[in-house]
Amino acid sequence: MKIKCFACDALIEAADADIIVDAFMAHGRSNHRWSYPEEAIRNYARNYAEATERLTGPCTTRVDSSRSWFGTMTR
């Protein structure tokens, strides 16, 4: 997982969401003086990392459009 710091564009990488949140908090404490609550910064880090993983990670499931219920709707 990867996350970019919103204050300095540093790229932080870690194996999972819990580790990356802690690494992001450590980066912030050593490099910045944020006025935001810790919980808000942790939420930012987790949401950013998980969203990036969803958008750029491997797609493991495909939807068969021929079997979608949207295709069976009639007026």
Please report, as a single letter, which amino acid is at residue 68.
Answer: S
Q: What is the pTM of this model?
A: 0.71
Cα-Cα-Cα-Cα dihedral of 48, 34, 42, 8, to 10°?
Answer: 30
List, in sequence order, every residue forming a beta bridge with 11; answer none if it has no partner. Answer: 4
Q: How far apart are CA 50 and CA 63, in angstroms?
A: 21
Per-domain boundaries in the chain: 2-56
The position carrying tokens 């790229």 is: 11
pLDDT on residue 53: 85
Q: pLDDT tens digits, residue range 14-69?
A: 999 999 999 999 999 999 999 999 999 999 999 999 998 888 866 666 556 565 55
Tell me if 51 sits within 8 A of 3, measured CB to CB. Answer: no
